[in-house]
Amino acid sequence: MNFNAITIKDIARELGLSISTVSKALSDSYEISEKTKKLVNDYATQNNYSPNPIAKSLKQGHSKSIGIVVSTIDNSFFSQVINGIESVAYNKGYNIIITQTHESYDLEMRNIKHLTFRSIDGMLISLSAETPDIEHLRVLQKKGFPIVFFDRVSGDIDTHKVIADNFNGAYDGTTHLLNSGYKRVAHVTSSPNLSITAERLAGYKKALEDNGIEYNANYVRYCLHGGRDLNEIETALNDLLAMYERPDAIFTASDRITTTTLALLHRLKIKIPDEVALLGFTNTKLAEILNPSLSSLFQPGFEIGKTAMEMLIGLIESKHPVTEYETKILPTQLVIRNSSMPVPVTGV
């Protein structure tokens, strides 16, 4: 059985008509007789002809397709972002093409090259942990290609950006741990290349400062692959636990790092929060039922995706060049659960 879709050219050849006549007949043009329209449409129906939406949209100047670049779709946060993107895209008649970098700079560049070859109208991107610069994106934008950043953004391109309030989220989370009686709060975070790393580290430092605690760089550990490499998280955790004055609480800065740290503490038979408290950025829906239930900073993933898609469509459909751009910062939510319960107050 032949599953190859027939084209207007195939119909024209079989019926001995011009391609223009077939196209007009399928479009119900007044220029074509009813007899010819019936001939063409009957043949098209019998042979399962379906219009090519990509070819049609390209002819009209748009492919109606959007490229999305994320680290991994199995990340709870990015799954929620994609849901937000879809909620706008499909209602506006756009299709989306999702690619994953798995925190690889090379794969990010390959994905972007592949997407642009598919004649997408624009791109939504969250940078990989390995990405050292964004020249590959700057080249596209200089050609007029619409790009909107979300979550992991770059300050080297002037365009729309949508992020969570990483500074205040980290500040609130660290402050909660300090107010709960923990004095040595460590910070396990992602690659220094990422904007979210700098913003969350700044919030962590500010919370220490405002609570009269000197910042100690030895309590900060970086996972250069954003938590994708289990060994990186394990090494960071083991280094912290081996310190003479080891942390009594850990603030983690990404979805994967947070949940993996919880699992590793269990493996090491460290009691949470009795020996080490834990709080971190994570959008997992399982936080409430984990043991112990996991204190977390929740990012508005759905709203980030929805807002980013609306901003991208604005760039694509604008009838005039866009020269003024906006960075939208959406609030995070601190959810306090058992993994960061206050230190018991001992009697005098």
CATH code at 176?
Answer: 3.40.50.2300
194/254 same-domain check: yes
* Domain ranges, residue 323: 62-164+301-330
* Res 5: pLDDT: 65
- Answer yes or no: is 262 within a domain: yes
Domain shared by 294 and 305, yes or no: no
189 and 286 belong to one structural domain? yes
Within this chain, do residues 136 and 187 fall inside the same structural domain, yes or no?
no
Claim to verify: residue 245 and residue 185 sit in the same structural domain: yes
pTM score, two decimals? 0.82
52 φ/ψ sector (left φ>0, alpha ψ -120 to 50, else beta) = beta
For the chain, how many structural domains are there in total? 3
Angle between helices 301-317 and 76-89 (to 10 degrees): 40
> Is 218 in contact with 245 (CB distance < 8 Å)?
no
Q: Does 180 share its domain with 239? A: yes
- Closest by alpha carbon to 284, among 263, 308, 256, 253? 256
Q: Which residues of the chain register pLDDT less than 50?
A: 1-3, 53-54, 56-58, 348
The answer to whether residues 151 and 200 belong to one domain is no
In a domain, 347, yes or no: no
pLDDT at 51: 67
Q: Say yes or no: 173 and 288 in one domain.
A: yes
Distance (Å, rounded) from C-alpha 200 to C-alpha 166?
Answer: 5
Residue 1 lies in a domain: no
Q: Both 116 and 189 in a single domain? A: no
The answer to whether position 2 is within a domain reads: no
Task: Examine the domain organization and report whether 176 and 272 are in the same domain.
Answer: yes
Residue 56 lies in a domain: no
- What is the C-alpha separation between 137 and 4, in angstroms, rounded? 36
206 domain residue, yes or no:
yes
pLDDT at 29: 82
Same domain flag for 268 and 199: yes
User: Per the structure block, which two tokens stand in for 54?
Assistant: 């990509």
Same domain, 173 and 272: yes
Residue pair 274/209 in contact (Cβ under 8 Å)? The answer is: no
Q: Does 239 fall in a domain?
A: yes
For residue 54, the model assigns a pLDDT of 45
Joined together, the tokens standing for residue 210 give 């405002």
Q: Crossing angle for the helix pair 105-117 and 135-142, nearest 10 degrees?
A: 20
pLDDT at 20: 87
Is 270 domain-assigned?
yes
Distance in angstroms (rounded) separating the CA atoms of residues 95 and 90 = 6
Numbers of helices and strands, H then E, in the chain: 12, 12
